[in-house]
Chains A and B, each alone.
Chain A
Amino acid sequence: MNSLRLKIGRFLKDILDMFLQDMGELTRYWDHRFSGSPESVALEAGVFFKAFGGLFLRDLRVLTREFLPFVLRVGMQPLLFLFVFTFILPRMSSGNPMAVAGGADFGTILLPGLMAVAIMFSGIAGVALPLSSEFGITREIDDRVMCPVPLWAVALEKVCFSAMQSIVAALLVIPMARYIPATPVRADVHHWFLFALVLVLASLLAGSLGLVIGSTVNPKQIGLVFSIIVVPITFLGCVYYPWAGLKTIPWLKVAVLFNPIVYISEGLRAAVTPSIAHMPWWAILVALLFFTAALGRWGLRGFMGRVLS
């Protein structure tokens, strides 16, 4: 037990070290940028933000061209899920085992879960899929890599853009949950700040996960990754049941703590449907921050490795 604690401690320390090292590089970068005269400082910072904005605009242009496929992609799954589990099944004979198992509150349990799935999938579809093809034989990423910004900014832009998509995707689920279920969903957002914070952090986390997958997985195997990583972490991500509900299966209750999706769904549960039992909000925020930093760091390393030779 002691050695395990030691190992975990060392692991945490390593991550903290890496983080501090990154911050060091970052500040050195800004130091260099801002070491010139006041005019050149304004110019440099201006170029940085404009270039970042340019990258964002490019992605926005590409997205508007396929806006309908985007909406269908992110909307279809929660739509069908809500329709089947909260509309069709409850209307079947009252003895339907599926509906009984879910309980009358199933819609309420499902809402944050489906938002989490929407965030996850658009995070991965928004970063991993485009990156894996741009890193593939076409090397389309080359022109963006040659922007006058550091490489990490190019990766960060990808994550931010996908986070924006994730937020839209998550918000799309709310009206569906309002109108589709047979029994009303008890959504109650009065911690607006917590809701916004969880939404943004969860979306950045999903984008970082996408960055890891997109930059470390061979493009040919991206489909395989979906079935062996994305689907399992979704199903075991406390999406269709609250974490507290796992009390009867203690080993699973501990095991799922390593799954970042758990904190996305529990976080949204805390923010959107607080009436359902959920983890304490501070633990959720710490875990979200931790996983975002760790995955972001890992993904960035992969990204740099793919770009630089």
Chain B
Amino acid sequence: MAKQRVVALEGIDLELKQGEIFGLLGPNGAGKTTTISIATTRALPTSGNVRIKGIDVVKHPAHARRLIGVVPQFNTLDRSLTVYENLYFHCRYFGFSHAHAKSRSLELLTQFMLSERKDAYPPQLSGGLAQRVQIARAIAHRPTVLFLDEPSAGLDPQSRMAMWSAVEGLRVEGITVLLTTHYMEEANSLSDRLAIIDYGHVLALGSPEQLKATLGAHAIFDLKLRSQEGLEPLVARLKARPDVTSAEVTAEGLRVIAAGSDGLLPELVQAAAGHGLRDLQITEPSLETVFIQLTGRDLRE
């Protein structure tokens, strides 16, 4: 039986700074999980390496695991142990003494507001709570880097917010966080820097603001007009403006793509009034528009 060779990654080259929250943004199948699996010693790359604090993860997996915390995509809590025991034994796996493991577990239960459910078994927990236990467990041994693989997959909006604030809270501890996501809001609000990847390549790298600014993330103005006659002079005038990238006549009216909307909006409205403006829709620049510009496809496809 020949295995089909799939190239999931082709040249991902990233460097994380101590203490930052770094987002890997990409659609499903872009290579996010593969990147994390390799970095967390769970998959062997055909070539390339990952270094954490100078330690080669591929060559010295056992050593590297002490520097790594992982929150996997699915709930992998030990179902035979209580919430408290999940934390306690995790600490023991990392060489903590009984007393040390106990105090660390109790401390984490308080930090993640889990004390009330400490004797519950994982199947009794809601998705959001289980995710919090997983994060607590992943940082229990004080790793240098925490990997969060699609942390909000399958969470309701409220649990997602709670999870985000838990991750934000990790900034205090100085842990470097690498998270993968295909949620724009998540990447936007959590990451200090992010990389947009697709088909195993890094397409763009920078802070969310940088990406939006330098990649010319533009606002899109869709105007619906009653009459489309005599639009040509207006189109020509708009195109002459330095902040306008494109202006074109559409079936229903006019579409203008421009960087920033400050001076443009009143002028557009005024000029369009003569043509019977009946509707105006503005799509603000966002990571979503950046992503569509870069990949030509929607994130949620």
Contacts and interface: CB of A to CB of B under 8 A. Distances in A.
A50 B68 CA distance: 18
Contact of A138 (B61, B76, B95, B137): B76
Given A146-B40, A148-B95, A309-B42, A140 B89 contact: no
Given A47-B95, A57-B92, A139-B74, A146 B65 contact: yes
B173 to A, nearest CB: 19
Given A308-B42, A309-B43, A148 B76 contact: no
A308 B63 CA distance: 17
Given A146-B70, A148-B62, A55 B95 contact: no
Interface residues of A, number: 30
A150 B79 contact: no
Place the interface of chain B in its size category. Answer: 20 to 34
User: By CB atoms of chain B within 10 A, which of A53, A54, A150 has the most?
Assistant: A54
Interface stretch (A58-66, A177-185, A251-259, A287-295): A58-66
A65 B82 CA distance: 12
A62 B80 contact: yes
Given A32-B60, A139-B74, A54 B89 contact: yes
A309 B81 contact: no
B93 A46 contact: no
Interface in A46-93: 46-47, 50-51, 53-55, 57-58, 61-62, 65
B157 to A, nearest CB: 26
B42 A139 contact: no
Nearest to B34: A309
Given A146-B68, A146-B70, A147-B65, A46 B95 contact: yes
Nearest to B80: A62
Given A32-B60, A55-B93, A148-B95, A142 B66 contact: no
Contacts of A149: 62
Contacts of A39: none
Given A61-B85, A140-B76, A143-B137, A50 B60 contact: no
A309 B37 contact: yes
User: By CB atoms of chain B within 10 A, which of A53, A143, A149 has the most?
Assistant: A143
Contact of A47 (B61, B66, B90): B66
Contacts of A53: 92
A138 B93 contact: no
A46 B97 CA distance: 11
A147 B81 contact: no
Interface in A133-167: 138-140, 142-151
Interface in B34-85: 37, 40-44, 60-63, 65-66, 68, 70, 72, 74-81, 85
Nearest to B74: A139
A54 B90 CA distance: 8
A74 B74 CA distance: 34
Contacts of B63: 148
A308 to B, nearest CB: 6
Contacts of A50: 92, 95-96
A307 B42 CA distance: 7
A42 to B, nearest CB: 12
Given A139-B74, A147-B93, 20 more contacts: A46-B95, A47-B66, A47-B95, A51-B93, A54-B89, A54-B91, A54-B92, A54-B94, A55-B93, A61-B89, A62-B80, A62-B81, A138-B79, A140-B79, A143-B78, A146-B68, A148-B62, A148-B93, A308-B43, A309-B37
17 contacts: A47-B94, A50-B96, A54-B89, A57-B92, A61-B89, A62-B80, A139-B74, A140-B78, A140-B80, A142-B70, A145-B42, A147-B65, A147-B94, A148-B66, A150-B62, A308-B44, A309-B37
